[in-house]
Amino acid sequence: MRLPPVSSWLLCVAAFASLGCAAGSANPAAPDDANDLAVVASDPAASARFEPLPAIEEPSVKPGINDPYFRDDGLYRYTRILESKTREIVRRRSDIVDAIGLEDGMVVADIGAGTGLLTTEMAKRVGERGTVFAVDIVPAFLERIRERARTEGLLNIVVMRGQERATGLKPGSLDLAFMCDTYHHIEYPKAYMRSLFEALRPGTTLVLVDMKRPEGRSSPAVLEHVRAPKSTVVTEIEQAGFVFDSEVDLLRENYYLRFRRP
């Protein structure tokens, strides 16, 4: 059996130690094809029909970073890591979701939803008239979110299998997008962020939470795993067309940024 790269494993221990239902929606506020999207979730090839954008030639900025998630033990291992109480995101998840500014009836996406830790909190905030698209590339995580939504009786979560270079979401379908510790896992950020930009309606918001990596204070494992500091992330997201709005001073180990989609 191939072992996970040392960096990924160390991330789990070092960073995460201090660190994936289509309950399909019969929801009038959801896009007309919300249930189609639930079907897309089980048919990855079909999601391409929402991708009219021409390809951007771009090498992976972090080859293999998501490989450990796809291993046979990926769900088991990463559920323990991502949902560990030693992780700031877990301890502060209510505050994090409160600060997003979700409102009843909103159609939003949890991009890189992982095991759905924050997805369910978001679903409670947007209520029965709203929809949360839980987007991830790892089928086992998506199944976990499905199970979680079923258990919690949340019928407003639509699971979507995204792609490495595109969300698979319908253009202009979102009121808000949220990414938590996902940006540094996006291998093709230029293409992906342009796709996310297209999925958002004009005048809406992208909320991005990601790991701090202060040089000289972060462990070598974190510096290796989290490829870029906040300043670079802001620049890259602005290059995708977003406008930086504000930083929310909420977390110690992660930064919390708000961008506008003009």
Ligand X SMILES: C[S@@+](CC[C@H](N)C(=O)[O-])C[C@H]1O[C@@H](n2cnc3c(N)ncnc32)[C@H](O)[C@@H]1O
Which residues sit at the interface with ligand X, rule CB under 6 A?
20, 66, 69, 82, 89, 111-114, 117-118, 135-138, 141, 162, 164, 180-182, 185-186, 192
Q: Is 143 exposed, middle or buried (0-12, 13-18, 19+ CB in 10 A)?
A: middle
Nearer to ligand X (CB atom), residue 34 or residue 179: 179
Is the alpha carbon torsion for 177, 183, 189, 190 positive or negative? Answer: positive
Determine contact, residues 82/20, Cβ cutoff 8 Å: no
Torsion of CA 144, 50, 175, 94, to 10 degrees: 20
In the complex, least distance from residue 115 CB atom to ligand X, rounded to whole angstroms: 6
Nearest-CA neighbor of 194 among 52, 31, 59?
52
Count of alpha carbons within 13 angstroms of residue 134, beta-carbon side: 35
Residue 4 vs 112, nearer CB to ligand X: 112
Taking residue 204's Cβ as centre, other Cβ atoms within 10 Å add up to 19
Indicate the residue among 112 and 130 with the shorter CB distance to ligand X: 112
Task: Please say which residue, 107 or 183, places its beta carbon nearer to ligand X.
Answer: 183
SS3 call for 120: helix
Nearer to ligand X, 207 or 234 (CB): 207
Question: Between residues 29 and 74, which has the closer beta carbon with respect to ligand X?
Answer: 74
Shortest CB 227 distance to ligand X, Å: 13
CB-neighbour burial class of residue 168 (10 A; exposed 0-12, middle 13-18, buried 19+): buried
* Closest chain position to ligand X (CB): 114
- Strands (E) in 98-199, as ranges, are 107-111, 131-136, 157-161, 174-180
State in angstroms the smallest separation of the CB of 84 from ligand X: 10
Pair of tokens at residue 186: 């996006």
Provide, rounded to whole angstroms, the least separation between the CB of residue 245 and ligand X: 21
Residue with Cβ nearer ligand X (117 or 176): 117
Query: Residue 210 pairs with which residues in a beta bridge?
Result: 255
Least CB distance from residue 114 to ligand X, whole Å? 3
Nearest distance from C-beta of residue 1 to ligand X, angstroms = 20
> Rounded to the nearest whole angstrom, what is the least distance from the CB of residue 26 to ligand X in the complex?
26
> CA 178 to CA 163: how far, in whole Å?
17
Q: CB of 210: closest distance to ligand X in angstroms?
A: 9
Q: Of 192 and 259, which CB lies nearer to ligand X in the complex structure?
A: 192
For residues 38-55, one letter each, b for 16 or more C-beta atoms within 10 angstroms of the residue's C-beta and e for the rest, the string is bebbeeeeebeebbeeee
